[in-house]
Structures are given as structure tokens and as C-alpha cells.
Structure 1
Amino acid sequence: MRAKIIGTGSCLPEKIVTNETLSAIMDTSDQWIRSRTGIRERHLVSSETETTLSMAVQAAREALSDADILPQQLDLIIVATVSSDYITPAAACLVQKELGACHAAAFDINAACSGFLFALNTVDAYIQAGIYQTALIIGVETLSKILDWSDRSTCVLFGDGAGAAVIKAAEEGMIASLQGSDGNGSDVLVCRNRTNNNPWISTDKSPDYLYMNGQEVFKFAVKKETECIQILLEKAGMEPEEVTYFLLHQANYRIISSIARKLKLPPEKFPTNVDHCGNTSAASIPILLDEIRKDRKLSPGDILLLSGFGAGLTWGAALLRW
């Protein structure tokens, strides 16, 4: 048995922040942002009621409804995030409480923008081992709270949101997967937590904001994602033309278009939402998947290749049949 996605859902904050809005509060412009990233707007939390948990729960409820699955039928909940509302308990436990998923084990995964794929591959492993049959995975981020809003090179790139998928054990679904990490690149995309603070060492330093070396991340992303796609297709004995859609992490339109050119494939095979969502980290792939499902672009039997990269450095990919 393998993991099969049977339902999707998503949640984006109500507030839409355009490039023009940002240009009024910092030294940037719509042309500067669009030409470098393809982003024209993003959704950001704008009230106390919008949180990482609230977005995760809304996306989860949509996915459960789409799958026609009750929360009590879930065996497992995994939340992929780097911006949970709490250090502990895990966001997945709070989602479990809100949903009333009383029979599910629940935990979080931190693999940055690769998190949703790490969660999907983890569920597939559980299913292959015969441990669980029905799971909910969520990618959710409130990145706006860890950004330096005076750093135009970083803050204009990101958005908030959540995407979810319900997974069921089935004869057909996941075809092949891979994931990896390289801690030697851990300094190119980083956000420090609290520093040591106890009776023997004290500090008044606040947690740092997100730092990114954009050029290094860009080069890594194009190279690694192209490699992942090629390795995964070879592993499955498939040609790129057999894939209906390539759903890549939505970090930057230039990265996605560069990968399409390297693979010599038409842009139509690479749906995007980075223009209106920005980079939503672990949420980007499940939000995109939910969008194309709602747009009725998917048919039973379609082949999807999901691939992403993130801080760590991490990367992951999954080839599956819809």
C-alpha cells in the first residue's frame, strides 16, 4: 500500500499586501520586486485572530471535507512549520484538539520550505509499514512575524498561509520519493531562536529575524531541484513528458522558469501562485495543489511531481498518481 492524496484544503489571510503598498513604507518598487521574483502581492496576517493555528485548522477542515473524512477517522496528523505559535506544544497537537481528532498521533516537522514533502514522505513510510492508514498533513507559516521589515531584500519575498492534504492508504498513489539535507549550507538561510538564559548565563538579546543569502539560495535551488526531478523520474522509469504537472516550491518565478528551461519543458507544466502568494515556505506546495484542484485542472490518473527546497539546507520530492 502507498500514500494517496484524497483531499486538499488551504487558507490565506484576508489582508492582501501589494508591491505598491510595500513601496510606500520602504525603499522598493513594484518593478524591482516583480523583475526579480515574479511576486506582485502576498497575504499577511492582520489581526489577533489570524494565527498559525487558525490557518492550519481552516485548511485542515477544508481538506477533510473534500476527502469526506471525519476527524475521528484520522490516525496521524503532521504539521510542517517553522513559525508555530508555541515552541511547545506542537502545532499538530493543537490542530488535533481543535478538530477533535481523538484517535490521531500528532507531531511537527521542521524542514523549512521542504517540510510538506518531508511530511508526505513520512506518511508514505508509515503506510508502507502498515502502521497507519489515514493521515492529515499540513504546511503552515506565519512568516511575517519573523521577518525584518526594514530589510527589503528579504521581507518582500514572503507571505503567510496554510495548505493541507488528507492521505489514505491505497493500491495506487505515491510512485517514488526522495529527500535529503546538507547542513554545510545551514548559514545561507537561518533564523536564530532564543539565546542561552539561566542563572549562570544571561542575555537580553531578542530572537533574530530571518536571514537569507539570496544568490546562494537561488543557485542551490535551480541545481538541486533539477537534480531531484531527474533522479526521481529515473527512479520511477518515467520520462518528463509523462508528468502532467510539476508542482515546485513557490519561492521565486525565475527559479521555476529556469528549471523548466533546463528540463526543456513548456511552462504550462509548471503551475505557479508565487505572483499572488509570495513564498509561503512549507505551505507553498499544498496551497498550489489545492488551487489547481479547485480550478478543476486535475483528473484521476494524472501524474504529479512535487519538489521543494529549504533552509537546512533541505530538499525533497514526490512523484504520485492523482
Structure 2
Amino acid sequence: MSQITAFGTYVPERIVDNHYFEEFIDTNDEWIISRTGIKTRRFSKDGEYTSDLAVKAVNDLVESSGKDISDVDFIIVCTTSPDQPMPNSASRVQYKLGIQNCGCNDVYAACAGFVYGLQIAHGFVNSGIYRKVLVIGSETLTKIMDLEDRTSCILFGDAAGAALIEPGDSEHFIAFNSGTNGDLGHDLYLSHKKNSINGVGINPHGKIVQNGRSVFKWAVGNIPKKIRELVEKAGMTLDDIDYIVPHSANLRIIEAIVKDLDYPMERVPESVTEFGNTSSASIPLAIAKSKRNGGIKKGDTVLMIGFGGGLTFAGAIVKWEI
């Protein structure tokens, strides 16, 4: 049996509002808010990378919980924006935290990454392979966004969130699901070399490229159904779920999902309005924001669902005990 025993987040100091983009692309504050809900986001500093944000999120976890992480035996970093392709980001985090005798791996599942990481950590701990696993969603997307693409560069921000998974006296992970539509891989990609996906030509310039309309349609058409399936798999109804925390890609996507589910918007924490789309870090940020504002509390049943590049999704229902 496994449970989340500690939690932490970090956002860079620099706050960037929508007016920043007016200096070099044809956009404005009203246009950005009306289409995305985003008001501000955080930009990492020069020389501040994904592993640095991850370490700071873990430090926040330690400070808020008092947990000893010296005996962590596996680190999972979920990211689309690693410091470099090799060595992996988890290895950089292990080094910077000084944790010995620790396995490390990255999960490269874009905005679904954090929930995929929780699924893997649950499997590790439940099987007894490892006893103490750090799952970190960390991104420096502003370093790989295309500032000439007015439809995508306005979306992204940098942040990190971390969770510690350990054995528990009862099962706190209630149900999981996941799935992929790889035929839509060309609608959201980051390519350095290959110039096509599924036979569709792409730009291998090392920047994020997104077909926003297609991704929006896929998310709104699929995620409510996948939430219902996950709740049914758990033997529950939506009334049993205290909070639904979707990936904070775009406030309009969240609103459409909530409308389809006929679920109260006030029980759907988001981080996109304040921090932008932070990919694998968005769900931890939304949970932390909710907890600060008197929302999610110990004993609540929380459904998390991440979705993005792949196009892929991953969901989890958790009994929140911290």
C-alpha cells in the first residue's frame, strides 16, 4: 500500500504579465485572457534550469513536512524540458540533493507526466521494489517556446511540484487510468531532428509547436469521458469526488470539461490564470494553490487528470492525507 506523504512546489521569481508579449507580437492582454484565462506566468532566470526548479520544489516539500529524504531510493522527474537529453534530469536532481544509493529516471509524457509518475511510484512502492520515491514535475518551457508563434508563446510558464510516495497503513491511491491517441502526435510536438510525424511534415527547430484548435477539440471531446470512466472504475460517482484537478492547459478547456461533467467549477482547482501552462507542474501547482486558499484538505478525495503531447492522458483518484 502506498500514499503521498509530503508535497512541495516552486515557481521562479520573475512574474510576466500579458503586456510583455505586446512588445514583439500582435496580441494584447484582453485577447490572451479571453482565449486562455491567463493573466500572468513565471519565467526562469538565465542559467536556471529544470533540475534547479525541481530541487527547489523538493526543498519546499522538506521544509513543509519535515521529511528526511536522504533515504529516498528512487527519483522520477516528469518533464518535457530537461536540462539536456542526457544525463536525465532525475540524475541531476539526485546529485544536487546529495541522495546516495538512489535510482533515477525521467518520464517524458508532457502535461500528463506528473500523474504518470504517480502511477509508476505507486507500482514501485506497492510491489516493494522501492520504499521511498520522489515524483517531480518540473518545466522550463519558456526556454523552448517559439516567441514568433503568437498562438503558443503566450501560454507557457516555468514551475515545479514534488510529491513523496511511501508505504502506508491503507491504500490511498484508489484508481488509475491512462490512454493515448498517437495518431495526433503531429498536433503537439518538440522536434530537434526528425522532420515528420505520422507522415505529416513538422518543423525540427527545437521549439514547442501546437495545433491549439486540434488539441482543444481532443481534450474537450475526450477528457470528460475519461474522468467518468475513472470514477466508474473506482466504484464511485462524481458526487464522491471532492475535487477534480485537471491539467491547467487553458482555462477555457477546463470550463468546457466542467460544463460537460456538470460539476461545480469551485471544486476544480487551476493554476493557469496565475502561472500559465506549466505542463507537468500544473497539477501540483493547482493543488498547492487550492490548499493555500482553504480548498483541498486532509481526507478529501481528489481526482487528478493530466493530458497533452502524445496525445496522451493519465488519471488518478487519491485520498488526500496531508
- The TM-score, its normalising length taken from structure 2, stands at 0.93
* 8 Å Cα contact 2:38/2:276 also seen in 1: yes
State the alpha-carbon separation in 1 of the partners of residues 310 and 185 from structure 2: 5
Q: Deviations over 1:23-58 (max 9, x none)?
A: 12221011110100000111111332x211111100
Give the Å deviation of 1:67: 3.4
Return the letter of the residue paired with 1:105: G
* 8 Å Cα contact 1:67/1:166 also seen in 2: no
1:256 to 1:265, Cα distance in 2 relative to 1, 3 A: same
State the alpha-carbon separation in 2 of the partners of residues 64 and 104 from structure 1: 17
Give the Å deviation of 1:314: 0.8
State the alpha-carbon separation in 2 of the partners of residues 261 and 194 from structure 1: 40
- Per the alignment, residue 208 of structure 1 pairs with 206
Secondary structure of residue in 2 paired with 1:71: coil
- Per the alignment, residue 190 of structure 2 pairs with 191
Give the Å deviation of 1:247: 0.8
- Per the alignment, residue 281 of structure 2 pairs with 283
- Per the alignment, residue 29 of structure 1 pairs with 28
- Per the alignment, residue 235 of structure 1 pairs with 233
| Structure 1: runs of 5 or more not aligned | 197-204
Give the Å deviation of 1:206: 7.1
Q: Does 1:77 align with 2:75?
A: yes
Q: Does 1:142 align with 2:162?
A: no
State the alpha-carbon separation in 2 of the partners of residues 51 and 31 from structure 1: 31
| 1:1-322 alignment, distance < 5 Å | 1=1, 3-48=2-47, 50-170=48-168, 171-194=170-193, 207-322=205-320
Q: CA RMSD in A?
A: 1.6
* 8 Å Cα contact 1:64/1:166 also seen in 2: no
Runs of 4+ in 1 over 6 A off after TM superposition: none
* 8 Å Cα contact 1:74/1:101 also seen in 2: yes
* 8 Å Cα contact 2:138/2:160 also seen in 1: yes
1:261 to 1:206, Cα distance in 2 relative to 1, 3 A: closer
* 8 Å Cα contact 1:64/1:70 also seen in 2: yes
Return the letter of the residue paired with 1:11: Y
- The TM-score, its normalising length taken from structure 1, stands at 0.93
Give the Å deviation of 1:294: 3.5
State the alpha-carbon separation in 2 of the partners of residues 239 and 20 from structure 1: 43
* 8 Å Cα contact 1:76/1:135 also seen in 2: yes
* 8 Å Cα contact 1:10/1:60 also seen in 2: yes
